[in-house]
Amino acid sequence: MANSECTFITIKPDGVPRGLIGDVIKSFEHRGFHLVALKFMQASENLPKEHYLKDCPFYADLVTYMHSGPVVAMIWEGLNVVKAGRVMLRETNPVDSKPGTIRGDFCIQVGRNIIHSSDSVESVENEIGLWSLPEELVNYKSSAQDWILE
């Protein structure tokens, strides 16, 4: 399928205890994307250190935050899913996100913006490698795909 790709999505430590896992999954499923991996986990201290850019002004706080509680790491597959996923999440700062988007509906502060999404096709492979193992991916064809894509 042309432009079919994967993206990496993480529900961050603030989204998990707020009960937003189902809402995020529902958003991606309703859009027509295909879940190929899901892992409920506690990130090691080193994992966010490897994931995020050290020159980020709030790097230390972000690393501490991402290690502070459980996260849900997911891999979604679909037509242009990287770009579509970013549109579904919207702006990093939730104040700049419109209602009807994940951040626009569920959060109000950049330091607690509940979710991460790969920012490019190029970053997906690196993020998947950091957060999961190849044998954790499930390869199957959803019968719904025939009703979603031409």
- 113 annotated ligand binder: yes
- On whether 64 is known to bind a ligand per the annotation, the reply is no
Residue 42: count other Cβ atoms within 10 Å of its Cβ: 11
Q: Is 103 annotated as a binding residue?
A: yes
**CA-CA distance, 147 to 125, in Å (whole number)?**
28
Query: Which tokens sit at 71?
Result: 């996260």
Query: Do the annotations mark residue 86 as ligand-binding?
Result: yes
Residue 71 sits at the vertex; the CA angle it makes with 70 and 77, to the nearest 5 degrees, is 160
Catalytic residues: 116
Annotated binding-site residue? 46: no
Q: Which of 90, 56, 77, 61 has its CA nearest to residue 5?
A: 77
Determine the 3-state secondary structure of 140 from DSSP. Answer: coil
DSSP line for 5-54? EEEEEEE-TTTTTTT-HHHHHHHHHHHT-EEEEEEEEE--SHHHHHHS-T
Q: Give binding residues for ATP as ranges.
A: 12, 58, 86, 92, 103, 113
